Chains A and B, each alone.
Chain A
């Protein structure tokens, strides 16, 4: 028995060793995770900011390591478990950007900072989640897909429940953990069915695709739907969006900012893999285009219209992020062939503006304790500079000039129009029209904030406002949104 495997062993060891060269950034994250935990245990008394510095250093190192592989060819690692290509590297750079902003956000958030547990564990969890997201972007095997997804999910549950200081926070974490566990259990069952149909776990194995082609469409549809439920939960799209507003409102604001960006983007990385797989099948029964299009339309319409009725700012931003996800679905739908340039560019901009919006909301909440839109009355005079930045960020979220949000939306719309002109498909036209309408609708709720801040009189007396590091960070991000309008090539040169 053993002798049969001897030639296989040496070749698979060689494969593993040669794969390690491409696996640097993940090794850095894994080692960094341990280092942050150990430094917190043994050195936190003497150097209070050590884990913060370590985490920033590790994330920057991972960013540099990812950049060195920017123009990598399609490389299969660890016997086909992972596949690294240009697209997965772009996703990894996006994750680094989010992690970097999130670390700074944690560092300057007062409620996390003053909490007795400290923030070191949060940094450690972040690095583990980041590792999971990197694996999600590269995975080519169903086992890897599930493990990576669970790494991200478990870390996110812990982040939401990290403080659990009041009823709202603990409720948010419970809802998130229970919904998430149910969705991943359903996904696991779907994966087990796919494995049963094909006898293989490798997504781009020829026997996997030919096995799926021989399965009756009903059974295949059931299994694929179950798998996609797990992905759709991470993306928070209609019909699996209902947890998002509650969790976003209840979670600590930095965590909300993180959850509304990074796991979503990682979900897209996975979704792209499954859509490529489904397109490779020759079933006519399962119309994946129709499904993606209807999800895009439903998310855009529901997200943007529901946001109008919200009073809590974080809840409003949660619904708006559902709308943005729908918009990204449209970008995914119209992506020609293998090019996802418009989608990736939109994601970069979305990360910057979403993080900036939550930073400012958090800053206002910490200085004045105001969370609701109607309490923002008269804040324009108190937070003069910050409010101007907020207006720029909101203009960018709507997608109007003079901010780069306009460029991002414009790119998606022009790709969609190209797709419509070349295919003449009615559903793309419907999607474009509804996207335009929901962009218009988003004006109503985004502009409630400047309306309240500038045009209505404050009821309370003035609070003393100090400019903090968080305010400077959000000013920088708002400036970036203006700068990128003039120089979009700063991002586009990498796509």
Chain B
């Protein structure tokens, strides 16, 4: 039996890795991967906490919805990144700076 704290530690470190990737990576797709890490950290939390909520199963249900919404979000973001590549021939967000003050 794995205690709850192990799950929480893994999910917290997943979240931090994801946030680190978002803040440092120079490639829009790698940023998207970081976002996926963060979402999956939350999903892991939901499932781990859901074990103690047998009546409603709210956590399990939320995890399912979160996975579906994350997939939809990534589909949209990838389509947008494809468009960006068409116009800029790069997907490095730091080089895409036509809009600024």
Q: Which of chain B's residues 45-89 have a Cβ closer than 8 Å to chain A? A: 45-46, 48-49, 52-53, 56, 58-59, 61-62, 65-66, 69, 72-73, 76-77, 79-81, 83-84, 86-88
- Find out whether the CB atom of B80 lies under 8 angstroms from the CB atom of A157: yes
Q: Which residues of B contact A186 (CB under 8 A)?
A: 38
Q: Are B62 and A201 neighbours in the complex by a CB distance under 8 Å?
A: yes
Given A157-B76, A172-B99: A182 and B81 interface contact (C-beta under 8 Å): no
CA distance A185 to B86 in the complex (A): 27
Task: Determine whether B17 belongs to the interface, using a CB cutoff of 8 Å to chain A.
Answer: no
- Chain B residues in 8 Å Cβ range of A191: 42, 62
Q: B45 near A196 (CB under 8 angstroms)? A: yes
Residue pair A185, B84 in contact (C-beta under 8 Å): no
Is the beta-carbon distance between A200 and B77 smaller than 8 angstroms? Answer: no
What residue in chain A is nearest B15 (Cβ atoms)?
A189
Measured between alpha carbons, how far is A196 from B5 in the docked complex, in Å?
Answer: 12
B8-31: contact bitstring with A at CB < 8 Å (1 yes, 0 no)? Answer: 100100010010001000001001
Q: What's the least CB distance linking A260 to chain B, in Å?
A: 16
Cβ-defined contact, B73 with A171, below 8 A: no
Whether A170 contacts B84 by the Cβ 8 Å rule is yes
User: Which of A166, A188, A246 touches B42 (beta carbons < 8 Å)?
Assistant: A188
A: number of interface residues (CB 8 Å): 45
Please, which residues of chain B bring their CB within 8 A of the CB of A192? 11, 42-43, 45-46, 49, 62
Docked complex Cα distance between A135 and B84 (Å): 32
Complex-state Cα separation, A182 to B65, whole angstroms: 17
* Cβ 8 A contact of B76, one of A143, A177, A185, A245: A177
Given A164-B87, A178-B28: A171 in contact with B62 (beta carbons within 8 A): no
Partner of A174, one of B65, B84, B100: B84
CB distance from A426 to the nearest CB of B (A): 33
Question: Is B98 positioned at the interface, with any CB of A under 8 Å from its CB?
Answer: yes
Judged by a CB distance under 8 angstroms, whether A57 is at the interface is no
A6 smallest CB distance to B (angstroms) = 16
Interface residues of B, CB < 8 Å — how many?
47
The contact of A185 among B39, B45, B46, B99, by CB within 8 Å, is: B39
Closest CB of chain B to A169's CB: distance in Å?
Answer: 8
Given contacts A172-B99, A199-B52, contact A182 B35 (CB under 8 A): yes
For A309, give its contact among B28, B58, B101 (CB under 8 Å). B101
In the assembled complex, how far is the CB of residue A82 from the closest CB belonging to chain B, in whole angstroms? Answer: 16
> Taking the complex as formed, is A184 at the interface, i.e. its CB lies under 8 A from any CB of chain B?
yes
Contact B80 A184 (CB under 8 A): no
Q: Are A154 and B72 interface neighbours, CB within 8 A?
A: yes
Residue in chain B with minimal CB distance to A153: B73
Residues on A with beta carbons closer than 8 Å to the beta carbon of B87? 164, 166-167, 170-171
A155: nearest residue on chain B (CB-CB)? B76
Contact B42 A184 (CB under 8 A): no
Name the distance in Å between B36's Cβ and chain A's nearest Cβ: 8
Does A363 lie at the interface of the complex (its beta carbon under 8 Å from any beta carbon of B)? Answer: no
Q: Which residues of chain A have C-beta atoms less than 8 A from B11's C-beta? A: 192
The answer to whether A185 and B35 have CB atoms under 8 Å apart is yes
CA distance A178 to B32 in the complex (A): 7
8 Å CB contact of A188 from B56, B66, B83, B101: B66
Binding site for B on A (CB under 8 A): 142-143, 146-147, 150, 153-154, 157-158, 161, 164, 166-168, 170-175, 177-178, 181-182, 184-186, 188-189, 191-193, 195-196, 199-201, 245-246, 249-250, 306, 309-310, 315
13 extra A-B contacts, CB within 8 A, seeds A170-B83, A191-B62, A306-B101: A157-B80, A161-B80, A170-B84, A170-B86, A170-B87, A171-B98, A173-B83, A174-B81, A174-B93, A178-B32, A188-B39, A191-B42, A199-B53
